[in-house]
């Protein structure tokens, strides 16, 4: 007797206000691929023109962020205080609303156009992408990238002098690119393929990925290529630059 | 001091012993609350009869629910500060609603868990005489945190309810609550002594709470020449659980119950020592009121809302510890300057010492990493001046301004080289006016600037710029005071003591809203917002012992450029209420609350819900029996709903994409109580 009465009362109160159930945010799936279209030869601050024949970076999850109603300068705080922990009732710094989880090797030369997978995104106006670095421990030992984070090979040219080089970079656990530009309004009808781009030179800031590296000074002089590896001063320069968001873009293909 | 209170209570006891010969409930002669001179259209005063008969009155927090348009969400258990909403503000734990108890602001500047954190656990509901809400920042004495308004708790026991009483309450959640109130009949209404002890297992796992409170107030001096001197003191200790929120998809799949929890080791402790000394003096040509107050506070919390999202090994539990000591002084002076003009002046200072840390802890609650640990000294001060002009009986204008000053000295205890000092100031004009159009109708207008000071931690930030940050896009800004500009126009119709109806239209604009996410420790500056809305209230008193009320609050809170809704702010609330206090001894209260669906971040929405709460009581001779039933229809409702990422099941892939989470609201619960008037 009691239960039916309560149910009727409950139903009545519900009907009286047209009770609305909770509503989850709308989600879409978009393909993500490597896009080498922006990887063109570019100069450094020391006058070297870089051409790449290999550009591979081992990454973990890719996260896509919306600025939402955060004022642009607020992002500084987000970057200063890394933990982005969501919490009831409050805005979480770095509003991640899309992700492609997994382990990838982004190969902008040989793997240009390769699909990495399908990312899940909430609809919204996107402004950024975070890329987590990792060590490529799963690769065979004879792969130059095995156990490392990034591998670059190519030539540096200046005043008629051309030097071949290879760079193997190790980034710390937890290192990531925060806020790579990704400007796209994603709605329910979106079906774009998102291209992850790398560039050697940022036209806005004027920075280049190999800024500060004097290839001539590193030339062993025996005809073998210049090598940049962990422990070298040049390694630290390039490693730091590799974490800068200005060298990455995510854009629809 | 406590000993002095105890001694006074014992000495005064015989005076109250004769109270049991009251044959019927004459404690409340009327339920009519006729505020004869409201200063704004939305001002609302809740009187003692309505408080005593209101349903769902478990703690002083619940008395806030009597203010129209206030929504409370408990995302811990009873004892943790509630999340509050009013006038389109998600005030978090008190960031935008100033709350005063016995004239002292209890919002805690720089509390580790939330700016302006309010914990009203130390207030015993039985000794709250009146709750007054002033929505909007329109009065000169409304200070820090009053962007959405100010709610004041006046303590005391009215003459009709004085005497000694002992109460015991038993609830269906295995709740036991005992209260002893001693309010000597031969002393002023300000004087009382009250003790409360409560334990409650809660309606589901990890909802338990315990508290013990002493609160007393005594008029030490009542002299025409030296004025009146009131001493208020309180001691409070509480322990509570913190259930955390559950994922909606886990509930849908049956992995966790609707009112379930992932972990049951969350919780906290809250302690307070509170004292205030108020001096009121009639100078003949003016009135002076001054108050000296001090507090000691301790808050410890362990919470986890995200599982293993941040730390897949140790988990994401956070332990927050806050220690706070404050001393303050207030001064208010008013005197007539002319037959039609009165000077209003005042000022206040409060100095705080704060020590706080936030650490991530493992399952044994041992420290895994330190997020922050800082010590701070902070000062809040203001001076205000204005006039009250009443050229004719039907017109009153109050206009003036206040200057608020904040000073911080903050030291990072993890990195001792990080040390910052900052002084901030903000002038705030305030004006309100009323015109009586007819004996029963008054028109109101008000404008005011509200403010919210930054917290100490914000002062430390912003000094360094990440190397890879393009400054043209991410220009860092220093901590600053958030200012809001509000206007309100409205009218009130009051026909004798039969009916009162008010309508207030309001708007609030904030150029850059600063929100501190206390868990991620991020200060986030938001785009421009505006809140437009109306408050409507209707009270009818068919008899002096019966009140019927209808309150409706509508708010459209939006970001100006995008038009997107301000997350979590309730756009619609309606409360239909009944208060009955019959001279025969019977009393009853009913409240039917409807809360509309609220926007969550990222396009998600909360559910709408309706709740019906009841209270019944009867007094015969010295014995009073009460029954309170919360959620009479046993509605399956979600008290808090949020949209964020979590990772609880490590056998599933980790995802950082936000999803719906919620905290179940209490089901039907009942409490029976007996009060013996000694």
The 3-class secondary structure across B566-577, one letter per residue, is CCCCCCEEEEEE
Q: Which tens digit of pLDDT belongs to each residue from B664-673?
A: 999 999 999 9
Q: Which tens digit of pLDDT belongs to each residue from A80-105?
A: 333 333 333 333 334 789 999 999 99
Whether the Cβ atoms of residue B486 and residue B456 lie closer than 8 Å to each other: no
Q: Which tens digit of pLDDT belongs to each residue from B32-87?
A: 666 667 889 999 999 988 999 999 989 999 999 999 999 999 888 899 999 999 99
Please judge whether A91 and B248 are an interchain contact, meaning their C-beta atoms are less than 8 angstroms apart: no
Q: What are the chain B neighbours of A127 within 8 Å (beta carbons)?
A: none
- Predicted confidence at residue B467, as pLDDT, reads 43
ipTM over 0.85: no
Q: Tell me the C-alpha distance between B34 and B43, whole Å.
A: 11
Q: To the nearest whole angstrom, how far is the Cα of A44 from the nearest Cα of chain B?
A: 17
- Predicted confidence at residue A4, as pLDDT, reads 62
Among left, alpha and beta (phi > 0; psi -120 to 50; other), residue B19 is alpha
Please judge whether B656 and A99 are an interchain contact, meaning their C-beta atoms are less than 8 angstroms apart: yes
Question: Which of A26, A63, A70, A80 should be substituted to probe chain B, the one whose Cβ sees the most B Cβ atoms within 10 Å?
Answer: A80
Q: What are the chain B neighbours of A24 within 8 Å (beta carbons)?
A: 248, 604, 659-660
A86 vs B461, B612, B644: nearest CB:
B644
- Predicted confidence at residue B442, as pLDDT, reads 95
Pairing mode, strands A27-35 and A115-122: antiparallel
- Which stretch, A40-49, A81-90, B515-524, has highest mean pLDDT? A40-49
Q: Which tens digit of pLDDT belongs to each residue from A9-37?
A: 655 655 555 568 999 999 999 999 999 99
Q: To the nearest whole angstrom, how far is the Cα of B295 from the nearest Cα of chain A?
A: 28
Whether the Cβ atoms of residue B41 and residue B489 lie closer than 8 Å to each other: yes
Least confident of A68-77, B360-369, B563-572: A68-77
Q: What would the mean pLDDT of A148-157 be, rounded to a whole number?
A: 97
User: Is 60 exceeded by the pLDDT of residue B20?
Assistant: no
SS3 letters across B21-85: HCCCCCCCCCCCCCCCCCCCCCCEEECHHHHHHCCCCCCHHHHHHHCCCCEEECCCCECECCEEE
Q: What are the chain A neighbours of B640 within 8 Å (beta carbons)?
A: 88-89
A93 vs B73, B517, B609: nearest CB:
B517
Q: What are the chain A neighbours of B522 within 8 Å (beta carbons)?
A: 77-78, 81, 84, 91-93
pLDDT band at B114 (very low <50, low <70, confident <90, very high): confident
Q: Which tens digit of pLDDT belongs to each residue from B411-421?
A: 999 888 889 99
Please judge whether B92 and A90 are an interchain contact, meaning their C-beta atoms are less than 8 angstroms apart: yes
Q: What are the chain A neighbours of B656 within 8 Å (beta carbons)?
A: 61, 63, 96, 99
Question: Which of B602, B655, B661 should be substituted to probe chain A, the one whose Cβ sees the most A Cβ atoms within 10 Å?
Answer: B602
Cβ contacts of B22 within 8 Å, gap of 6 or more: B622, B677
For the CA atoms of B367, B368, B369, B372, what is the dihedral angle to 10 degrees?
-30
Q: What would the mean pLDDT of A123-139 be, rounded to a whole number?
A: 92
Percent above pLDDT 90 for chain B: 78
- Predicted confidence at residue B401, as pLDDT, reads 98
Question: Which of A74, A118, A127 should be substituted to probe chain B, the one whose Cβ sees the most B Cβ atoms within 10 Å?
Answer: A74
B518 vs A14, A63, A90: nearest CB:
A90
Least confident of B363-367, B536-540, B562-566: B562-566
Report the length, in residues, of chain A. 253
Q: Tell me the C-alpha distance between B168 and B674, whole Å.
A: 6
- Predicted confidence at residue A18, as pLDDT, reads 53
Q: What are the chain B neighbours of A95 within 8 Å (beta carbons)?
A: 601-602
Q: To the nearest whole angstrom, how far is the Cα of A186 from the nearest Cα of chain B?
A: 12
Q: To the nearest whole angstrom, how far is the Cα of B180 from the nearest Cα of chain A?
A: 35
Q: What are the chain A neighbours of B646 within 8 Å (beta carbons)?
A: 86
In chain A, where the domains are located: 25-252
Query: What phi and psi, each to the nearest 5 degrees, are found at residue B206?
Result: 60, 35
Token output for B654: 């980790």
Residue B112 is classified by DSSP as T
Q: What are the chain A neighbours of B573 within 8 Å (beta carbons)?
A: none
pLDDT band at A65 (very low <50, low <70, confident <90, very high): confident
Establish how many alpha carbons lie within 13 A of residue B676's alpha carbon, considering only the half-sphere containing its beta carbon: 5
Q: Tell me the C-alpha distance between B133 and B44, whole Å.
A: 5
A9 vs B468, B633, B638: nearest CB:
B633
User: Is 60 exceeded by the pLDDT of residue B127?
Assistant: yes
- Predicted confidence at residue B415, as pLDDT, reads 87
> Per-residue b/e over A8-27, b at no fewer than 16 CB within 10 Å?
eebeebbeebebeebebbeb
Q: How many CB atoms are located within 10 Å of the residue B181 CB?
A: 25
Look-up of token digits 């993500």: A32
Question: Which of B418, B455, B517 should be substituted to probe chain A, the one whose Cβ sees the most A Cβ atoms within 10 Å?
Answer: B517
Token output for A117: 């997978």
B608 vs A10, A17, A25: nearest CB:
A17
Pairing mode, strands B97-101 and B149-155: parallel
- Predicted confidence at residue B476, as pLDDT, reads 35
Q: Tell me the C-alpha distance between A105 and A90, whole Å.
A: 35
Q: What are the chain A neighbours of B592 within 8 Å (beta carbons)?
A: 13
Look-up of token digits 């009187």: B47
Among left, alpha and beta (phi > 0; psi -120 to 50; other), residue B631 is left
Which residue does chain B place closest to A82, by CA atoms?
B520
A71 vs B83, B525, B635: nearest CB:
B525
User: Is 90 exceeded by the pLDDT of residue B464?
Assistant: no
Whole-number average pLDDT of chain B: 90
Maximal CA-CA distance, chain A: 96
- Which of the pair, A83 or A172, is modelled with greater confidence? A172
Q: Is B280 helix (H, G, I), strand (E, B) or coil?
A: strand
Tally A–B CB contacts below 8 A: 234
- Distances in Å between the Cα of B501 and the Cα atoms of A212, B206, B542 are 74, 43, 14
User: Is 80 exceeded by the pLDDT of residue B234?
Assistant: yes
Q: Which of A174, A177, A203, A211 is nearest to A65 (CA)?
A: A177
Q: To the nearest whole angstrom, how far is the Cα of A100 from the nearest Cα of chain B?
A: 9
Q: What are the chain B neighbours of A81 within 8 Å (beta carbons)?
A: 461, 520-522
Which residue does chain B place closest to A176, by CA atoms?
B468
Query: What phi and psi, each to the nearest 5 degrees, are found at residue A22?
Result: -60, 155
User: Is 50 exceeded by the pLDDT of residue B5?
Assistant: no
Cβ contacts of B130 within 8 Å, gap of 6 or more: B45, B46, B47, B48, B51, B152, B153, B154
Q: Tell me the C-alpha distance between A126 and A65, whole Å.
A: 6
- Which domains can be identified in chain B, with CATH numbers? 2-251+271-309+321-367+388-461+479-677 (2.40.170.20)
Q: To the nearest whole angstrom, how far is the Cα of B181 from the nearest Cα of chain A?
A: 37
Look-up of token digits 């008290």: B639
Percent above pLDDT 70 for chain B: 90
Q: What would the mean pLDDT of A189-217 be, rounded to a whole number?
A: 95
Q: What are the chain B neighbours of A174 within 8 Å (beta carbons)?
A: none
H helical segments located in B414-471: 456-460
Q: To the nearest whole angstrom, how far is the Cα of B310 from the nearest Cα of chain A?
A: 8
Q: Which of B160, B214, B167 is nearest to B189 (CA)?
A: B160
B658 vs A23, A26, A86: nearest CB:
A86
- Predicted confidence at residue B513, as pLDDT, reads 74
- Which of the pair, B224 or B468, is modelled with greater confidence? B224
Q: Tell me the C-alpha distance between B164 and B159, whole Å.
A: 12
User: Is 50 exceeded by the pLDDT of residue B604?
Assistant: yes
Q: Which tens digit of pLDDT belongs to each residue from A237-251?
A: 999 999 988 899 999
Q: To the nearest whole angstrom, how far is the Cα of B82 from the nearest Cα of chain A?
A: 11
- Which of the pair, B608 or A96, is modelled with greater confidence? B608
Q: To the nearest whole angstrom, how far is the Cα of B654 from the nearest Cα of chain A?
A: 8
Token output for A83: 């933990």
Q: What would the mean pLDDT of B145-169 be, rounded to a whole number?
A: 95
Token output for B284: 């003949």
Q: To the nearest whole angstrom, how far is the Cα of B248 from the nearest Cα of chain A?
A: 9
- Predicted confidence at residue A14, as pLDDT, reads 57
Q: Which of B156, B162, B127, B129 is nearest to B19 (CA)?
A: B162
pLDDT band at B337 (very low <50, low <70, confident <90, very high): very high
């Amino acid at each position: 007797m009691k239960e039916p009465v309560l149910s009727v009362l409950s139903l009545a109160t519900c009907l009286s206000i047209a009770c609305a159930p909770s509503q989850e945010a709308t989600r879409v799936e978009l393909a993500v691929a490597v896009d080498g279209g922006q990887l063109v030869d570019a100069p450094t601050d020391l006058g070297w023109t870089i051409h790449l024949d290999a550009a591979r970076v081992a990454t973990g999850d890719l996260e896509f962020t919306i600025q939402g109603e955060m004022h642009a300068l607020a992002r500084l705080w987000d970057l200063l205080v890394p933990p982005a922990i969501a919490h009831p009732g409050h805005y979480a710094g770095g509003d991640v609303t899309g992700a492609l989880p997994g382990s990838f090797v982004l190969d902008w030369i040989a793997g240009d156009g390769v699909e990495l997978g399908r990312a899940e995104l909430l609809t919204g106006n996107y402004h950024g992408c975070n890329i987590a670095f990792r060590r490529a421990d799963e690769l065979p030992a004879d792969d130059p990238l095995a156990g490392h984070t990034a591998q670059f090979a190519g030539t540096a040219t200046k005043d008629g002098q051309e030097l071949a080089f290879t760079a193997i970079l190790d980034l710390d656990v937890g290192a990531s690119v925060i806020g790579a530009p990704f400007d796209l309004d994603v709605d329910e009808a979106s079906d774009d393929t998102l291209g992850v781009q790398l560039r050697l030179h940022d036209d806005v800031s004027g920075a280049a990925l190999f800024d500060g590296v004097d290839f001539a000074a590193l030339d062993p002089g025996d005809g073998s290529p210049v090598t940049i590896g962990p422990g070298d001063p040049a390694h630290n320069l390039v490693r730091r630059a590799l974490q800068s968001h200005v060298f990455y873009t995510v854009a629809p293909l | 001091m406590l000993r002095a209170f105890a001694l006074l209570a014992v000495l005064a006891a015989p005076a109250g012993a004769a109270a049991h010969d009251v044959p019927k409930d004459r404690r409340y002669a009327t339920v009519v609350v006729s505020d004869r001179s409201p200063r704004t259209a939305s001002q609302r005063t809740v009187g003692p009869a309505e408080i005593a008969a209101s349903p769902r009155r478990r703690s002083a927090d619940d008395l806030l629910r009597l203010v129209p348009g206030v929504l409370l969400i408990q995302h811990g258990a009873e004892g943790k500060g509630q999340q509050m909403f009013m006038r389109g503000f998600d005030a978090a734990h008190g960031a935008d609603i100033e709350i005063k108890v016995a004239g002292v602001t209890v919002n805690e500047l720089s509390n580790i868990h939330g700016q302006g954190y309010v914990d009203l656990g130390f207030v015993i509901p039985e000794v709250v005489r009146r709750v007054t809400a002033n929505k909007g920042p329109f009065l000169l004495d409304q200070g820090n945190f009053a962007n959405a308004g100010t709610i004041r708790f006046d303590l005391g026991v009215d003459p009709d309810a004085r005497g000694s009483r002992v109460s015991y309450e038993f609830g269906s959640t295995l709740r036991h609550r005992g209260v002893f109130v001693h309010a000597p009949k031969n002393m002023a209404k300000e004087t009382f002594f009250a003790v409360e002890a409560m334990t409650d297992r809660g309606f589901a796992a990890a909802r338990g709470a315990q508290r013990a409170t002493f609160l007393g107030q005594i008029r030490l001096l009542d002299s025409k020449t030296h004025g009146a001197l009131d001493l208020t003191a309180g001691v409070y200790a509480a322990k509570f659980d913190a259930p955390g929120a559950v994922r909606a998809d886990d509930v849908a799949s049956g992995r966790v119950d609707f009112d379930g929890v992932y972990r049951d080791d969350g919780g906290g402790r809250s302690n307070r020592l509170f004292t205030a000394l108020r001096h009121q003096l009639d100078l003949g040509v003016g009135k002076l009121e001054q108050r000296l107050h001090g507090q000691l506070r301790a808050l410890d919390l362990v919470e986890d809302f995200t599982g293993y999202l941040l730390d897949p090994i140790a988990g994401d539990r956070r332990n927050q510890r806050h220690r706070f000591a404050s001393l303050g002084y207030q001064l208010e002076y008013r005197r007539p300057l002319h037959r039609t003009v009165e000077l209003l002046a005042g000022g206040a200072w409060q100095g705080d010492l704060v020590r706080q840390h936030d650490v991530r802890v493992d399952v044994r609650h041992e420290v895994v990493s330190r997020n922050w640990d800082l010590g701070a000294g902070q000062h809040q001060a203001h001076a205000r001046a204005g006039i009250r002009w009443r050229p004719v009986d039907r017109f009153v204008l109050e206009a003036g301004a206040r200057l608020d000053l904040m000073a911080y000295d903050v030291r990072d205890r993890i990195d001792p080289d990080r040390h910052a000092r900052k002084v901030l100031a903000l002038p705030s004009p305030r004006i309100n006016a009323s015109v009586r159009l007819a004996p029963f109708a008054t028109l109101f207008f008000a404008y005011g600037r509200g403010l919210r000071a930054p917290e100490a931690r914000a002062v430390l930030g912003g000094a360094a710029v990440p190397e890879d940050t393009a400054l043209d896009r991410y220009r860092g800004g220093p901590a600053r005071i958030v200012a809001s500009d509000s206007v309100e126009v409205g009218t009130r119709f009051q026909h004798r003591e039969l009916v009162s109806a008010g309508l207030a239209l309001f708007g609030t604009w904030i150029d850059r809203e600063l929100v501190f996410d206390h868990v991620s420790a991020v200060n986030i500056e938001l785009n421009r917002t505006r809140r437009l809305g109306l408050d409507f209230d209707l009270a009818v008193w068919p008899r002096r012992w019966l009140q019927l009320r209808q309150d409706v609050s509508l708010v459209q809170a939006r970001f100006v450029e995008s038009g997107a809704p301000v997350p979590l702010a309730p756009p619609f609330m309606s409360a239909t209420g009944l208060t009955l206090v019959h001279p025969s001894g019977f009393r009853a209260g009913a409240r039917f609350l409807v809360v509309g669906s609220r926007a969550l971040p990222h396009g998600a929405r909360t559910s709408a819900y309706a709740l019906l709460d009841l209270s019944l009581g009867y007094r015969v001779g010295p014995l009073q029996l009460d029954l309170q039933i919360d959620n009479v229809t046993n509605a399956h409702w979600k008290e808090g709903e949020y949209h964020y990422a979590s990772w609880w099941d490590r056998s599933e892939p980790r995802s950082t994409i936000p999803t719906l989470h919620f905290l179940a609201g209490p089901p039907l619960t009942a409490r029976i109580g007996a009060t013996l008037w000694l």
